[in-house]
């Protein structure tokens, strides 16, 4: 009988049920889209923010004098201690090794060099040797890992804004270099004994070595970084180590890692945490916890967070998620108001029916359960329809903003159906309470 009464209500009032279901479906669609994008936005933004470059920098711990302004390290690049290159594979052994997507060591120094159209020692020796800023790094390097695999990394991944405007990156095993675009315009080459302004692809940069014969590096590309590197010569790290007499050493290491935005807990010092707090902190991909893990495997190192990148990522992600939650709340509120209005109208129309049921012996609880069951059926149907529509909206939003659509989630479906039920009961609470208080006698008398 109970199911018959519920089914009869749907047959006799399809318009009210359809309007209520549509309001629920639209509200749940917006909530589904917002929740799906919110669950996916962290990883998407982390990948997008990696285009800003590394968010961690590793330097020798012996460099104890900080000189950092606005997130930029102004200490001399050739001062202090150095770190061994052989320890770098250990970075991929930390707990969050899968979150470390790239790392690149650098060795900066100054050397006397001159550009020539060909390696002509006589011309080079008889010409002035200006001092030039040189940067040794990896362009594309395969790092052998302890498990026998190899990890491909390099400056192109940690510094994605380093763009080769002409030519290509140098080969790791060749005597080649990449020249900053500004320096390339300033330099000139000797062709047939005559000085010609401007450096061309295929020309040579001859670097003076006091104890050995000069080293000729072929210019195979021009770098456009928008920074100080545009006035430098970029060479393979192995050649930089040879020229600077620092075998198997590097000066700084830039690490790009996928992280979780920091909160107050993440900013606490590990030394002040209890063992349980330290474990929870270490098992969260905060940029500070990843930095702490790297420091543990690189003896004598100091790992610092590049705050300009990390904090910018956290602020934007927090604002995006806050906006999505506000949209979700507004959609749920609108759905609750629509359900409440529809439920109130339905209760008023069914006053006679409710009065008759009570006159025949139905209690207030039974009447309330009957009306609530009708609303819950609408909630399940509207929630399921809203989830299907919301997945479509989420795909549109994801593809337009992040270039990839979030995947459907069973968790989101369960949450949406639960939210639909909660919104329906919340919106119908006042009309259902009023229906439960109806007295049958005045209603049957037409009062």
Q: What CA dihedral angle connects 262, 268, 273 and 277, to 10 degrees?
A: -10
- The C-alpha atoms of residue 95 and residue 107 are separated, in whole angstroms, by 27
Instruction: Report which listed range, 65-69, 81-85, 278-282, 399-403, is most confident.
Output: 81-85
Looking up tokens 């006159």 gives 359
The arithmetic mean of pLDDT across residues 6-10, rounded, is 54
Is the pLDDT confidence value at 29 over 60? yes
42-46, 75-79, 101-105: segment of lowest average pLDDT? 75-79
Q: Looking at residue 37, what is its pLDDT?
A: 75
Q: Looking at residue 23, what is its pLDDT?
A: 77
Instruction: Report which listed range, 100-104, 112-116, 192-196, is most confident.
Output: 100-104
- The C-alpha atoms of residue 45 and residue 39 are separated, in whole angstroms, by 11
Reported as a pLDDT band with limits 50, 70 and 90, residue 178 is very high
Is the pLDDT confidence value at 67 over 70? no
Is the pLDDT confidence value at 359 over 70? no
The DSSP element (H or E) to which 235 belongs, if any, is strand 233-236
Residue 344 burial by Cβ neighbours in a 10 Å radius (0-12, 13-18, 19+)? middle
- What are the tens digits of pLDDT across the range 137-152? 999 999 999 888 999 9
Q: Are 55 and 313 in contact (CB under 8 A)?
A: yes
Looking up tokens 């003076």 gives 208
Greater confidence (441 vs 107) lies with 107
Q: Looking at residue 233, what is its pLDDT?
A: 94
Reported as a pLDDT band with limits 50, 70 and 90, residue 2 is very low
Greater confidence (121 vs 226) lies with 226
Greater confidence (43 vs 392) lies with 392
The DSSP element (H or E) to which 3 belongs, if any, is helix 2-12
Q: Looking at residue 138, what is its pLDDT?
A: 94
The DSSP element (H or E) to which 337 belongs, if any, is helix 307-349
Is the pLDDT confidence value at 404 over 70? no
Q: What percent of the chain has pLDDT over 90?
A: 20
Phi, psi of 80, rounded to the nearest 5 degrees: 80, -160
Report which of 221, 222, 292, 290 is spatially closest to residue 259, judged by C-alpha positions.
290
Q: Are 176 and 216 in contact (CB under 8 A)?
A: no
Question: What size, in residues, is the chain?
Answer: 447
Q: Are 436 and 368 in contact (CB under 8 A)?
A: yes
Q: Look up residue 129 and give its two tokens.
A: 């040797």
DSSP secondary structure string for all residues of 277-309: HHHHHHTS-BHHHHHHHHHHHSTTEEEEE-HHH
**Kindly report the CA angle at 356 between 351 and 360, in degrees rounded to 5?**
150
17-21, 181-185, 354-358: segment of lowest average pLDDT? 354-358
The arithmetic mean of pLDDT across residues 25-48, rounded, is 73
Residue 177, Cβ neighbours under 10 Å: how many? 26
Q: Looking at residue 251, what is its pLDDT?
A: 92
Greater confidence (404 vs 100) lies with 100
The arithmetic mean of pLDDT across residues 129-138, rounded, is 91
Is the pLDDT confidence value at 127 over 80? no
- What are the tens digits of pLDDT across the range 212-238? 888 889 999 999 988 889 999 999 999
- What are the tens digits of pLDDT across the range 248-274? 999 999 998 887 776 777 778 887 888
Contacts (Cβ under 8 Å, ≥6 apart) of 263? none
Q: What CA dihedral angle connects 225, 310, 87 and 270, to 10 degrees?
A: 160
153-162, 172-181, 382-391, 418-427: segment of lowest average pLDDT? 418-427
Q: Looking at residue 288, what is its pLDDT?
A: 84
Q: What percent of the chain has pLDDT over 70?
A: 70
Contacts (Cβ under 8 Å, ≥6 apart) of 374? 6, 9, 10
């Amino acid at each position: 009988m109970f199911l018959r009464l519920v089914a009869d209500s749907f047959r006799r009032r399809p318009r009210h049920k359809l309007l209520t279901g549509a309001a629920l479906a639209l509200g749940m669609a917006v909530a589904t889209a917002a929740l799906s994008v919110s669950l996916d936005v962290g990883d998407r933004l982390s990948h997008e923010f990696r285009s800003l470059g590394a968010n961690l920098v590793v330097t020798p711990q012996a460099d104890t004098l900080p000189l950092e302004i606005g997130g930029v390290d102004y200490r001399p690049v050739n001062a202090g201690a150095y770190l061994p290159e052989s320890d770098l594979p250990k970075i991929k052994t930390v707990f969050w090794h899968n979150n470390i997507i790239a790392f690149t060591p650098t060795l900066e120094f100054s050397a006397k060099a001159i550009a020539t159209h060909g390696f002509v020692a006589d011309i080079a020796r008889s010409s002035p040797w200006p001092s030039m800023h040189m940067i040794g790094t990896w362009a594309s390097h395969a790092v052998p890992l302890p498990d026998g695999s190899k990890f491909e990394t390099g400056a192109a991944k940690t510094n994605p804004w380093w763009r080769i405007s002409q030519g290509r990156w140098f080969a790791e095993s060749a005597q080649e270099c990449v020249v900053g675009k500004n320096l390339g315009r300033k330099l000139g080459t000797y062709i047939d004994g005559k000085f010609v302004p401007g450096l061309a692809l295929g020309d040579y940069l001859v670097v003076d070595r006091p104890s050995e014969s000069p080293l000729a590096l072929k210019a195979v590309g021009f770098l456009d970084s928008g920074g100080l590197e545009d006035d430098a010569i970029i060479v393979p790290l192995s050649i930089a180590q040879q020229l600077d007499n620092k075998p198997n050493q590097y000066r700084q290491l830039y690490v790009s890692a996928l992280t979780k935005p920091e909160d107050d807990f993440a900013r606490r010092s590990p030394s002040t945490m209890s063992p349980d707090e330290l474990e929870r902190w270490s098992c969260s991909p905060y940029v500070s916890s990843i930095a702490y893990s790297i420091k543990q495997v690189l003896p004598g190192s100091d790992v610092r967070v590049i705050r300009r990148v990390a904090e910018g990522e956290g602020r934007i992600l927090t604002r995006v998620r806050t906006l999505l939650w506000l949209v979700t709340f507004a959609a749920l509120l609108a759905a609750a108001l629509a359900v409440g209005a529809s439920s109130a109208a339905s209760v008023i129309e069914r006053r006679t029916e409710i009065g008759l049921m009570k006159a025949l012996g139905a209690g207030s609880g039974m009447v309330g359960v009957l009306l609530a069951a009708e609303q819950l059926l609408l909630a399940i149907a509207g929630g399921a329809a809203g989830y299907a529509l919301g997945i479509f909206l989420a795909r549109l939003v994801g593809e337009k903003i992040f270039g990839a659509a979030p995947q459907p989630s069973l968790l989101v479906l369960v949450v949406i159906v639960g939210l639909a039920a909660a919104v329906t009961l919340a919106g119908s609470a006042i009309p259902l309470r009023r229906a439960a208080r109806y007295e049958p006698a005045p209603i049957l008398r037409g009062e």
